[in-house]
Amino acid sequence: MFKNNLEALVLGALRDGPKHGYAIAKAIEKAGQGALRMGENQLYPTLHKLERDGFVAAEWHPQEGRPPRKVYALTEAGTEELARHRERWAAFASGVSSLLGAEVGHA
Amino acid sequence: MPDPIRSYLDELRSRLVRRVPEGELSTILDESEGHLLDLAEERGGPEAAIAKFGTPARYAARLLRARDVVLPVWRAAREPLAVVLVLEVLDILMALTMTYTNNGRLVAGLHLALTGAGSVAFFFACFRARRMLWVPALVFCLAQTFLFAGISGILESARLRSAAVWQFHALDARDREIGTIRSALVTGRELFKKPEASIELQALPTPLSGFATPRTLLHRVEAVSITGRALDLSWNGSPLLFQPSSTRVEVPLGPATYAEAQRRWNEDFDLVSQKLATLDKDNQQDREDLSRWRDSWFAAAVGRFPLAAAVWTRLLLAMLELNALAYLLYRIRRAIPPRRLA
């Protein structure tokens, strides 16, 4: 339905600022309002891929009594990629809405 | 760190170690630990956090797939190939041991089931390895060829040994028979040297009873010889029985016939002795041949090799076809994006 949508969701979750993995997962969960279900084990492979592709950059933040957190932030390329995802999604959603709207209108 | 999370991370490490660079592995483990601790706080315990996270096996598989790390060939293929090997060995054993079964449908059904299961296992191996398994398939088929020839040769040798036991018994019996005849011949000659015509048939040694002349003995010797030759030509799984000659010459032991019997003994004695010597020599030769034949399991195995090679060459082609199909499916699967949320 929407290719590479998990990557798009992760990039979208980072739009309003850098986050660590857990916060990204929570952000997607919250934004999806229960409609978006993502396993935690899907998140890190996606984040690492985005990092390898240069769409996100990460840095370690030390914590008191806990392992350091790796915080991810959008890079410039990531911001552009997010924009492309947004355009594709807008076109897709517009097409589907138009079709569904026409069908609803005929019914 | 709670023990369940530590165990989870240990298992994750064991699945990723040597397949992901050490630095990346530490990153993954640290990130996962932080995430699991956060989840545990949120959900009220490490078990709930782990349940949300998914099994280490699945998580490791996702991480490796995202890095396009494939399993080493032998690691990916060893279990399915071991299954194939066991199935094929069973198939070979079945094929060799059920040769004498008349139920062809049963044999064919079992063969089909074992081969089919082996093919599925190999297909799974190819798919799991995510690449062409040319070398393992070739090695596997070569191993199977030698295995087939070896097992076949050993079973053939066992059959030969079993046959040889009976044949040695038969040769022993033939030796005994020749000895008995020779002894009877000599005894008869000694008896006929005596001038008295009053020898009673019943007084002759038991082996001579009913064999009044060397000519009759010769009949018996020839019968033994023929049986002996037949022994070499065929073996039907049962000990050979030496039948006495059906030709029995009744020689009345009166004075008139005694001289005649005496003359015939003397005339034929050399001929029969020579015949016995030839039989002795034949027997010895047969014994040596049989010993060589019995001990030639290796020759039997080598003899089966062309058949084994033909069978496993065909199998190799089938395996490579399966391999190509599995690899094609893997490529198709890779071409389809695996992650879909909406």
The answer, yes or no, to whether residue A106 has pLDDT greater than 90, is no
pTM comes to 0.45
Alpha carbon of B18: minimum distance to chain A alpha carbons (Å)? 18
The answer, yes or no, to whether residue B246 has pLDDT greater than 50, is no
A92 touches chain B (CB under 8 A): no
**Per-residue pLDDT tens digits for B28-44:** 888 888 888 888 888 88
> Using CB atoms, which residue from B35, B66, B339 is nearest to A21?
B35
CA-based Rg of chain B, rounded to a whole angstrom? 39
Burial class of residue B197 in the structure, from the number of CB atoms within 10 Å of its CB (0-12 exposed, 13-18 middle, 19+ buried): middle
Sorting pLDDT into bands at 50, 70 and 90, what band is B226? very low
Instruction: Tell me how many degrees the CA angle B220-B216-B208 measures, rounded to the nearest 5.
Output: 85
B233 touches chain A (CB under 8 A): no
Contacting residues for B336 by C-beta, under 8 A, at least 6 apart? none
Alpha carbon of B342: minimum distance to chain A alpha carbons (Å)? 7
More confident residue, B176 or A22: A22
Q: Which among B25, B26, B33 has a CA at the least distance from the CA of B67?
A: B25
pLDDT at A54: 92
> Could A4 and B30 be called an inter-chain contact, meaning their C-beta atoms sit closer than 8 Å?
no
Residues in chain B closer than 8 A to A61 (CB atoms):
none
> Could B341 and A46 be called an inter-chain contact, meaning their C-beta atoms sit closer than 8 Å?
no
pLDDT at A64: 79
Cβ–Cβ pairs < 8 A, chains A and B = 78
Q: How many CB atoms lie within 10 A of CB A87?
A: 10
d(CA B71, CA B276): 75
Residues in chain A closer than 8 A to B339 (CB atoms):
4-7, 42, 46
More confident residue, B105 or A12: A12
Contacting residues for B26 by C-beta, under 8 A, at least 6 apart? none
Q: How many CB atoms lie within 10 A of CB A23?
A: 18
Burial class of residue B244 in the structure, from the number of CB atoms within 10 Å of its CB (0-12 exposed, 13-18 middle, 19+ buried): middle
Sorting pLDDT into bands at 50, 70 and 90, what band is B301? low
**Per-residue pLDDT tens digits for A32-63:** 777 777 777 888 888 888 998 899 998 888 88
B335 touches chain A (CB under 8 A): no
Q: In this structure, what DSSP letter does residue A1 have?
A: -
Sorting pLDDT into bands at 50, 70 and 90, what band is B167? confident
Residues in chain A closer than 8 A to B54 (CB atoms):
39-41
Chain A, residues 6-25, CB within 8 A of chain B, namely: 6-7, 9, 20-22, 25
pLDDT at A99: 81
**ipTM > 0.85 for the complex:** no
Alpha carbon of A32: minimum distance to chain B alpha carbons (Å)? 10
Residues in chain A closer than 8 A to B37 (CB atoms):
66-67
Residues in chain B closer than 8 A to A66 (CB atoms):
34, 37
> Using CB atoms, which residue from A22, A38, A48 is nearest to B66?
A48
pLDDT at A80: 93
pLDDT at B199: 45
pLDDT at A72: 93
pLDDT at B223: 43
pLDDT at B95: 67
Cα distances from B58 to residues A39, A42, B51, in angstroms, run 11, 10, 12
A33 touches chain B (CB under 8 A): no
A86 touches chain B (CB under 8 A): no
Alpha carbon of A45: minimum distance to chain B alpha carbons (Å)? 5
* HEC per residue, chain B: CCHHHHHHHHHHHHHHCCCCCHHHHHHHHHHHHHHHHHHHHHHCCHHHHHHHHCCHHHHHHHHHHHCCCCCCHHHHHHHHHHHHHHHHHHHHHHHHHCCCCCCHHHHHHHHHHHHHHHHHHHHHHHHHHCCCCHHHHHHHHHHHHHHHHHHHHHHHHHHHHHHHHHHHHHHHHHHHHHHHHHHHHHHHHHHHCCCCCCCCHHHCCHHHCCCCCHHHHHHHHHHHHHHHHHHHHCCCCCCCCCCCCCCCCCCCCCHHHHHHHHHHHHHHHHHHHHHHHHHHHHHHHHHHHHHHHHCCHHHHHHHHHHHHHHHHHHHHHHHHHHHHHHHHHHHHHHHCCCCCCC
3-class secondary-structure state, position A60: strand
pLDDT at A4: 53
Q: In this structure, what DSSP letter does residue A90 have?
A: H
pLDDT at A71: 92
Sorting pLDDT into bands at 50, 70 and 90, what band is A2? very low
